[in-house]
Amino acid sequence: MTEQDLYGVLLDEFWGIPLFDVHSHFCQEGGMVDDPESYLSAWTQPEVPPPGLTEAQIRDWREGRWAMKRTYWFSRACGNALRELYATDDSAEMARLMNGVRARGLEASIDWMRGKSNVENIVVDSNPDLAAAREGILSTYRLDARGVTWRSCELEDVLEGEEERIKGLKEAGGVHCFKIPVAYDRSLRMEDVSLEEAARAARKEPEKRNPGEQKAIEDYIFRHFMRRAGRWSMPVEIHTGFGWAIHDRPLRLSEADPENLLPVLENEEFRRTQFILFHGGYPFTSKMGYMAGAFSNVNLDFTCLSPESWRMLKRALHEWIDIVPLDRMVAGSDGSYEWLYFGARLNRECLAQVLAEKVESEYMDLEMAVSMGRHILRDNGRRIFGLE
């Protein structure tokens, strides 16, 4: 078979696989859509605006920037995906159909989009009630070390209260993993801190803590629950690599570098914990491949990369497939509504294309390629979350 024939065979196989989406924000109702163009433009990386603009002028400036972003892979690929999903090229009709999905309500919208995307399981960002009520939906527990110590406290009492809350939600089927998005606020490097040191700092009012003391508190809490995660069979999802400038302080790539997690990963006390490191660590994709290949409890996630850049993800997948065991890669969508379809479609297509190239020229047979696709798209996620 030619490479194109192989691609078609693999893509058919992959559309038949019900996906496990490890990272979704399809957990609350979204607002109505004005038109597909503005919907897509709102999802492109917000640039830092020129100085001296009012809030209204910044909005106008960002809307005007869309004309310069139509060449983005995201704009082209997700525009095509929208036209395929709703079977129309007419913008007004497409907006009507998009809003019709939203008018169904959250749960019915999820069911419709899962059916169109052939997605079996979704891990949503912190909606325990939804997860407990709906089959196939799992929820994260966002571990907010700063939020639970926002005032002077006895750290051991705080940890005990958090543990009881998490256990209750877990027993009710409401939470299934931890999520740590701290790279948006500070470095991923989490040092080994004693309980005494962290507790002493936590007794101070937050405004009287120096940055080192605040970090010590957070490091202790993160490590504490990472250990508990191993005992409770709860994976730990961690944001690594690039991210939008959506917080008070733009994400700093050096702090989001997955290599910052080595003090944790190299420590034997965390070896029972399954880690899912988001976004392939982009732009540190080679580092991420090395780490997933070296640590048996590190799972490489490439959520959000297929809509960002097809060429970049293809390059990374070629490298990862060469050096990462096939049971340590997963993916998802990282959005809501149409994003479930974007991820499902583009992840399947990119993976099929890379594996077709491997079969055609690099000593991988078709059976191995199909097996690898099934592991990445479904089986690995189900195993990590204890559904197998």
Name residue 137's beta-bridge partners. Answer: 122
Query: What is the phi/psi pair of residue 353, to 5°?
Result: -70, -45
The helix/strand/coil state of 137 is: strand
- pLDDT (0 to 100) of residue 47: 83
Residue 57 or 251, more confident: 57
As a whole number, mean pLDDT of residues 190-205 equals 97
The confidence band for 170, taking pLDDT boundaries of 50, 70 and 90, is: very high
Judge whether 259 and 277 are in contact, CB under 8 Å. Answer: no
Contacts with 32 (C-beta within 8 Å, 6 or more apart), sequence order: 99, 102
**Token digits of residue 226:** 């990472």
Give residue-wise pLDDT tens across range 272-317: 999 999 999 999 999 999 999 999 999 999 999 999 999 999 999 9
Whether pLDDT at 248 is above 80: no
**pLDDT given for residue 362 in this prediction:** 82
pLDDT tens, position by position, 254-275: 999 999 999 999 999 999 999 9
Nearest to 134 by CA among 119, 148, 149, 147: 119
Residue 44 above 60 pLDDT? yes
Q: Which two tokens stand for residue 297?
A: 């409890």
Residue 247 has pLDDT above 70, yes or no: no
| Average pLDDT along the chain | 95
Radius of gyration of the chain (CA): 21
- Sign (positive or negative) of CA dihedral 71, 101, 243, 281: negative
Residue 285 has a CB neighbour count (10 Å cut-off) of: 23
What pLDDT band is residue 251 in, cutting at 50, 70 and 90?
confident
178 by DSSP, 3-state: which? strand
The confidence score (pLDDT) of residue 338 equals 98
Of 118, 121, 113, nearest to 30 by C-alpha is 113
The residue that leads in pLDDT, 368 or 60, is 368
pLDDT digits (tens, 9 = 90+) for 205-234: 999 999 999 999 999 999 999 999 999 999
Give 314-356 pLDDT, tens digit per residue. 999 999 999 999 999 999 999 999 999 999 999 999 999 999 9
Domains and CATH numbers, the chain: 3-29+105-384 (3.20.20.140)
Residue 58, pLDDT > 90, answer no
